[in-house]
Amino acid sequence: MGAITFILSFLTLLLILQEAKTQQCDLTYPGTSYNVNENTAEDTIVVQGSSFTGGVYPAYEARIVSVSPGPADLFYVKPDTGELYIGSEPLDYEESPMHTVIIECWDTTDPATKDSVTVTVNVVNANDPPVFTNLPGTGSVNEDAGSSASVFQVNVQDQDTSNTITYAILNQNPGGTLKFTIDSSGLVKVISANSLQADPPSAVTLYTLLIRASDGSTFISDVLTINVLGTFDESPSFARSSYTGSVDEDGTAITWINPPAVEPKDDFNDADAGDSYTYSISGKYMGKTSNIQRSIQLPVFIRSTNTLVRPTFLPTYSIQIMNGPD
């Protein structure tokens, strides 16, 4: 009888000790569902007031069993208190509006002794500012571009897919009349035909635009550089409509006698810098009379090798042929 009583007492003691151990691993929180604003920074506490009913760390510690949807390090828990924190990255409502986290307390000396709690973290949606994906950037346009000619497509990414993005050009450098506009899709276009000039003396070959994009709540701005390209479309032109020179009948060189004394080939203008030129002369003089001067009108053509446009007017040579003894 005494042996049976001893055995019963021993078993009762084991049950009491086991119950004490289980209670020591009891993990509690003030609630089971918590709200966290989207984009809240890492290491921000999500759940406070967690506790063990007993036990001393490190013999008893808390740990995360699972995070759904993950990644697993999206949250972390303090092992000595069970407090839950945001982990590896800010929460993103667009990726997942809710996460389920299972946390357990366990006895490090007896892994079978543990308790678990399920916590729901609700991500509260916040406005995400838009982001340029190709600014700062560079575009180009020909100087002879027509009205509404496309120059550059501005691209913006916004995680809030319900937002409507609007665009504006805040500044143009050089200033003056605005040369470009941007439409509702972000396409930068030329406003007016023939408004750009890449040729001297009024050449502007580089424009800098400050572009703004807004989602209605926040806005961003960045720089677009536009290069204006010359098209070699300007006609060369002589400085005057006629040139006068003289040459002996047996000579080979013409002496230009009109002021200034300059050869026609060196006396023309072309706004298209860098052109190269070819020359031709047409007309003929027939007949010969002694001891008199004859005047001949020779139309002179000049053209750029980079364009098919002819001059707006054609000067003439008035060459005096001087009769000599023969």
DSSP 257: -
Q: Give yes or no: residues 216 and 245 share one domain.
A: no
Q: What is the CATH number of the domain that holds 277?
A: 2.60.40.60
Residue carrying structure tokens 């003691």 = 13
**pLDDT for the residue 231:** 79
More confident call, 94 vs 308:
94
Q: Give yes or no: residues 113 and 146 share one domain.
A: no
C-alpha 233/C-alpha 193 separation (Å) is 14
State pTM to two decimals: 0.52
| Mean pLDDT along residues 210-235 | 89
Q: Give yes or no: residues 114 and 139 share one domain.
A: no
C-alpha 121/C-alpha 17 separation (Å) is 36
Query: pLDDT class for 60, splitting at 50, 70, 90?
Result: confident
C-alpha 26/C-alpha 57 separation (Å) is 13
For residue 71, how far is the Cα from the chain centroid?
A: 31
Does residue 125 fall inside a structural domain?
no
Q: Give yes or no: residues 14 and 110 share one domain.
A: yes
The domain of 198 spans 131-229
Q: Give yes or no: residues 69 and 107 share one domain.
A: yes
CB under 8 A, 24+ apart: contacts of 163-169: 163/127, 163/130, 163/215, 163/216, 164/215, 164/216, 165/130, 165/213, 165/214, 165/215, 166/213, 166/214, 166/216, 167/211, 167/212, 167/213, 168/211, 168/212, 168/214, 169/209, 169/210, 169/211, 169/212
**pLDDT for the residue 188:** 98
State the total domains in the chain.
Answer: 3
More confident call, 285 vs 62:
62
- Per residue in 253-287, pLDDT tens? 677 776 666 676 677 666 665 666 666 665 544 44
Of 99, 120, 141, which marks where a domain is finished?
120
Q: Provide the percentage of residues in the chain whose pLDDT is more than 70.
A: 65
**pLDDT for the residue 58:** 63
Q: 268 - beta bridge partners?
A: 238
**pLDDT for the residue 283:** 53
Query: pLDDT class for 47, splitting at 50, 70, 90?
Result: confident
Comparing C-alpha atoms, which of 295, 205, 182 is closest to residue 243? 295
Q: Which stretch of 16-30, 38-52, 146-160 has the lowest confidence by average pLDDT?
A: 16-30
**pLDDT for the residue 116:** 86
**pLDDT for the residue 79:** 87
Comparing C-alpha atoms, which of 167, 165, 221 is closest to residue 189? 167
Alpha helix stretches (DSSP H) within 141-285: none
**pLDDT for the residue 28:** 80
Query: pLDDT class for 99, splitting at 50, 70, 90?
Result: very high
Q: Give yes or no: residues 57 and 149 share one domain.
A: no
Q: Give yes or no: residues 107 and 172 share one domain.
A: no
Tokens representing residue 271 in the block: 């706004």
Q: Is the pLDDT score of 151 beyond 70?
A: yes
Does residue 7 fall inside a structural domain?
yes
Does residue 174 fall inside a structural domain?
yes
Q: Give yes or no: residues 247 and 201 share one domain.
A: no
| Mean pLDDT along residues 229-255 | 71
Comparing C-alpha atoms, which of 325, 322, 326 is closest to residue 249? 322
Does residue 161 fall inside a structural domain?
yes
Q: Give yes or no: residues 203 and 245 share one domain.
A: no
Q: Give yes or no: residues 218 and 246 share one domain.
A: no
Integer CA distances (angstroms), 108 to 25, 112, 226, in order: 10, 9, 66
Query: pLDDT class for 307, splitting at 50, 70, 90?
Result: very low
Does residue 315 fall inside a structural domain?
yes
Q: How many CB atoms lie within 10 A of CB 28?
A: 13
Does residue 140 fall inside a structural domain?
yes
Residue carrying structure tokens 């678990």 = 116
Of 176, 211, 229, which marks where a domain is finished?
229
Query: pLDDT class for 200, splitting at 50, 70, 90?
Result: confident
Comparing C-alpha atoms, which of 80, 107, 98 is closest to residue 38? 98
Q: Give yes or no: residues 179 and 149 share one domain.
A: yes
Query: pLDDT class for 8, splitting at 50, 70, 90?
Result: low
Does residue 126 fall inside a structural domain?
no
32 φ, ψ (degrees, to nearest 5) = -120, -5
- For 86, what's the count of Cα atoms within 13 Å in the CB-facing half-sphere? 20
Of 161, 196, 229, which marks where a domain is finished?
229
Q: Give yes or no: residues 71 and 149 share one domain.
A: no
For residue 6, how far is the Cα from the chain centroid?
A: 84
